[in-house]
Structure 1
Amino acid sequence: MRLGSAGMASPSAAPRDLAAQPVPWFERLLVVLFVVVPFLAVLAAVPFAWGWGLGWRDVAVAAAMYLITGFGVTVGYHRHFTHRSFQADTWLRVVLAIAGGMSLQGPVIRWVADHRRHHKYADREGDPHSPWRFGPGFAGLARGLFHAHVGWLFSPERTSRRRFCPDLLADRPIRFLSHNLTYVPVVLLSIALPALAGGLWGGSWQAALTAGFWGGPVRIFVLHHVTWSINSVCHTFGKEEFSVRDRSRNVRWLAVVSLGEAWHNLHHADPTCARHGVLPGQVDPSARLIWLFERAGWVRDVRWPDPDRIAARRVARSA
């Protein structure tokens, strides 16, 4: 593997970081379906919305589904399960795992294993989705951005769950929700819930159809590409406001729609911090939701930013 920074250390990914068996064919087929079907739905959305089929009810349902599944990824999959930024009651852990699964980004343990491996090898050999995989320059970076954004999803390699997620494998409810057969109802719920909400609200099959379309495949498509942009855009463009050993950057224009995840430079500087947007004006909706959970007594031991740690990692600004 070629990387994009001269002199950067490139330790090989140890074989134990990968599962003994590659990704089974049926799981690779599911990845194709989860990526391609929402994409085709968005292509159909333009003529579909041009004449009919999009109203405020559909927008509201789609926005609600985006927030539910988006927070499931950012607060659940990422900050809680991957980095253990806070402890949560068992019922909330289950809800977050289901909400994250409804994003159609895969079962929680698989997602966490890949992300923990990413942090171990960030922008070095072994990182499953570094945009610098093929080196600098226009051709190398263009190829790398595609790989980081979506290409890596089709890799036959599977990150070892035993290596990276022994804690989650020992958690019976989370292990149960990570089985392929258990994940199927979660996928169906992600598609059926917006249609059900739209149908009950609008009182017609047409209302169910349009809300199901915008709150289902279109919402999944948008959330997929926002999430994948953290892998690609936030490791290529933006500001380095905190000292890190990789290419992670803060990308302001992506921050709100990513629910705070685009403050990615701070996240790599202090991965267990529950808040990623720590500087003035850096909006972080996911951190606010964690704060609300803490106020309700549902979460505890939240790792909020420590001013001294933040100051120590801050990049000195030139005069």
Structure 2
Amino acid sequence: MSSKKSRRSTRRHYRQAPGPTVQPTNEKDVSALLSGGAPAEASSTLKWASGRAHVARANNINWAAATWLVMIHVGALAAPWTFSWSALAVLVFMHWVCGGVGICLGYHRLLTHSSFQTQRWVRRAIASIGCLAGEGPPMMWVANHRLHHARSDQDGDPHSPHDGGWWSHASWLAYKVGGKDQGEYFRKWAPDLYQDRYIRLLDYGFIPINVVASLLFVGVGYAIGGATLAISWLVWAVFLRMVLVLHATWLVNSASHMWGYRNYETRDDSRNNW
């Protein structure tokens, strides 16, 4: 009982005492933010994203993202009736390629945090692979994640469990973090990526890339085993694989900020789950 009261008290405090939204104004500020510092300026007058209360508005729904997420989840429901060992093998391999290389190495360590440097063509190739994970184009992903690090579990965090477990897990993705002017949002939070024309092009090419990749899986499956295997590969190697990668990432946003143990006291609620 006392634990529930404490949780409610924390949520009340969180909502009643919002802090200013930190906004990087240039690439130097973003670098300072990622290295553990803070941007040179903070303003409470412009809020590119301020948690559920400021993001979840009827006129701010991202219909393309919402439709995309519903579609791949519905497609994954056919998995029990379309199983094949070859489709499972492709799923496991593509899960590693898209989730491990595309998201963890590419979107997260390379593009968001600049943890290492590489040649431009490698950077662009990894960014393209990241698109196949189904988590959105790189500029959107990076801008949202940098904003999360700047305001983790505070006012302004786009996916804090303080706004609800399901909100932090998935439903926040149905809205446009940063409002309708996504270009301005990307220039604020991902100026380094915005300067790369190829990365900007992936914003428009995200759906076509995934459609082409899906058709390739269908084509190869059909060539090997006919229509039955083609459908099996589509469901398992595309829909189910994306759903598994998505929820693995989403659990970091939700479960890893809700349950588990802490080695250090930090300003956010991040935790270890195993």
Note whether the superposition's TM-score is higher than 0.5.
yes
Partner of 2:251: 229
Map 1:70-219 onto structure 2 (within 5 A).
Answer: 70-71=99-100, 72-133=102-163, 144-158=164-178, 160-178=185-203, 180=204, 182-200=205-223, 202-219=224-241
Taking the aligned partners of 2:64 and 2:175, their CA distance within structure 1 comes to: 13
Contact kept, 8 Å, 1:109 with 1:165, in 2: the verdict is yes
Determine the C-alpha separation between the residues in 2 that align with 1:27 and 1:78. Answer: 25
Which segments of 5 or more consecutive residues in structure 2 lack a partner in the other structure?
1-7, 22-43, 50-54, 180-184
2:19 is matched with 11
TM-score (norm 2): 0.75
Give 1:94 deviation, angstroms: 1.2
- Mark the CA change 1:17 to 1:94 in structure 2 (over 3 Å): closer, same or farther: farther
Higher relative contact order (CA 8 A, sep 6+): 2
Structure 1 distance, partners of 2:231, 2:87, is 10
In the other structure, the counterpart of 2:266 is 244
Distance in 2 (CA, whole Å) between partners of 1:3 and 1:43 is 39
Q: 1:238 to 1:26 in 2, by over 3 A?
A: closer
CA distance in 1, matches of 2:161, 2:213: 30
- Displacement of 1:195: 2.4
The equivalent position to 2:72 in structure 1, one of 25, 30, 38, is 38
Which structure 1 residue ranges, 5 or more long, are not aligned? 134-143, 253-319
Q: Does the CA contact (< 8 Å) of 1:42 and 1:221 recur in 2?
A: yes
Residues 60-91 of structure 1 deviation map (CA, whole Å, 9 limit, x = unaligned): 11112211210201111111100111111112
- Report how far residue 205 of structure 1 moved: 2.7
The question of whether the paired residues in 1 share the 8 Å contact of 2:61 and 2:174 is answered with no
Preserved CA contact (<8 Å) 2:169 2:254: yes
Q: CA deviation at 1:171?
A: 1.9
TM norm structure 1 = 0.65
RMSD: 2.7
- The answer to whether the 8 Å contact 2:61/2:176 transfers is no
- Against the structure 1 CA distance between its residues 26 and 164, is the aligned structure 2 distance closer, same or farther, given a 3 Å change threshold? closer
8 Å CA contact 1:62–1:216 kept in 2: the answer is: yes
With over 3 angstroms needed to count, the CA separation of the structure-2 counterparts of 1:29 and 1:155, relative to structure 1, is closer
- Cα distance in 2 for residues equivalent to 1:73 and 1:61: 18
Which has the larger helix fraction? 2
CA 1:98–1:12 in structure 2 vs 1: closer, same or farther (change >3 Å)?
Answer: same
Cα distance in structure 2, aligned partners of 1:213 and 1:148: 27
Distance in 2 of aligned mates of 1:30 and 1:198: 28
Whole-angstrom distance in 1 between the partners of 2:218 and 2:125: 20
Q: Is the 8 A contact 1:3 1:124 kept in 2?
A: no
Query: How far apart, in 2, do the equivalents of 1:206 and 1:101 lie?
Result: 27
CA distance in structure 2 between the partners assigned to 1:244 and 1:61 by the alignment: 40
* Native 8 Å contact 1:38 1:217 kept in 2: yes
Contact 2:61 2:175 in 1 (8 A): no
Aligned to 1:62: 91
Identity of aligned residues (%): 32
Give the superposition deviation at 1:25.
7.8
